[in-house]
A = this chain, B = another copy of it.
Amino acid sequence: MKSPICDMLGIEFPLLAFSHCRDVVAAVSRAGGFGVLGATVHTPDTLERELKWIDDHVDGKPYGIDVLIPENISTSGEKDVTWKSLEARVPLEHRAYTRDLLKKYDIELTTTEVDDNQPQPFDAGTALELLKVSFNHPIRLIANALGVPPKAMIEMGRKHNVPVAALVGAKEHALRQVAAGVDILVVQGTEAGGHCGEVSTMVLVPEVIKAIKPIRDVPVLAAGGIMTGRQMAACMAMGAAGAWTGSVWLATVESETSEIFREKMIAASSRDAIRSKGRTGKPARQLRSVWTDAWDRAPESPGALPMPLQSIISRDAFNSIDRAAAAGNAKARDLVSYFVGQGVGLIDSVKSAGALVQEFKEEFAEAVEHINALVAESGAKQ
């Protein structure tokens, strides 16, 4: 395809797939798309291992990595914040609320031990370390979410001749990213899973393209709700250079998601994917469950803590919830949740990542044929 993204990333079909699972990343790239590994959960050591595995399984095809460096976080300005030190900052009220909630569902809240020097979640310094590790591998893209990337990240990209992509959820953010010098904008509508804004993909994609055009012609990847090749074609008809996808890969055989969450995804409609602060402290779209209701709707909710404190709470809680649900605690299922977009309403089966890339290509071609058939006798073309 002749999209500028294909040239930049060395691919034939501009379908980017964000996943925390190396198997998905490699399978998508092998099938002609472009896998992007979510690296935030890693240490430099574990990331090194994952990238090595990808290199061994990607048949020389290009792939990228994604980090998450929040511009606004409650620990801004503090140095070397450790996970342990944050644990001490979680109010007792929030701990008790979490423990009591899980208890009602017969789940014991257990705490995972962390090293004394383990950095806070979403730590910017760690993210830059992860990027350094990744440049020892043939990565073709580095992407960042939750704000303008630090200068060091953009400079790293320049130095290694690797494009830097930034996720944005509003026109105003896109303009700041273009000024900061990013190479690709991932324009993500509110329907997306994970951290998201309030403007829809259908509006935000043309709004951003129009706003940045007079400044610099940065290619736009459309994101948010895209689960099919037809939607991808729709976004490209509006001027996007390709699609950035996430949730759709959660329902692949290769993905990291639990069997229970897969079942919940297949049962869910779009309205079950809600925007909540209950998981990370910033609005992020996720499957509605007793957990999100407890933070968003319950009158007795103490309110979610700011990022990164809410993640300290939710990590232990979801480890406990997922373990209990997997062990057969039927009540625990009601709490199970994970980041997923409104497109969950389109998921009705689990398939392999490679087959899904192929399906995207076929649906894309169908959409083009369909629109051509519509206008074949039209006044619109004359």
Chain A interface residues toward B at CB < 8 A: 1-3, 12-13, 32, 170-172, 189-191, 197-204, 206-207, 210, 224-228, 230-231, 233-239, 269-271, 341-343, 345-346, 361, 364-365, 367-368, 370-381
CB neighbours (8 Å) of A372 from chain B are 368, 372
Please report the C-alpha to C-alpha distance between residue A198 and residue B190 in the assembled complex, in whole angstroms.
Answer: 10
* A345 nearest CB neighbor, chain B only: B207
Say how far A244's CB is from chain B's closest CB, in angstroms: 13
CB neighbours (8 Å) of A189 from chain B are 200, 202
Contact B345–A171 (Cβ < 8 Å): yes
CB neighbours (8 Å) of A230 from chain B are 206, 237-239
Say how far A230's CB is from chain B's closest CB, in angstroms: 5
Contact B198–A271 (Cβ < 8 Å): yes
Contact B270–A207 (Cβ < 8 Å): yes
From the candidates B1, B190, B380, name the one contacting A375 in the complex (CB within 8 A): B1
Q: A203-B225, A207-B269 are in contact. List 18 more A-B contacts (CB 8 A).
A: A1-B377, A2-B378, A32-B379, A191-B199, A198-B271, A200-B201, A203-B227, A206-B227, A206-B231, A207-B345, A210-B346, A230-B239, A233-B237, A236-B371, A237-B367, A365-B380, A368-B372, A368-B375
Say how far A279's CB is from chain B's closest CB, in angstroms: 18
Contact B342–A203 (Cβ < 8 Å): yes
* A169 nearest CB neighbor, chain B only: B271
If the complex has contacts A378-B2, A379-B13, A381-B368, are A200 and B191 also in contact, measured as CB distance less than 8 A?
yes
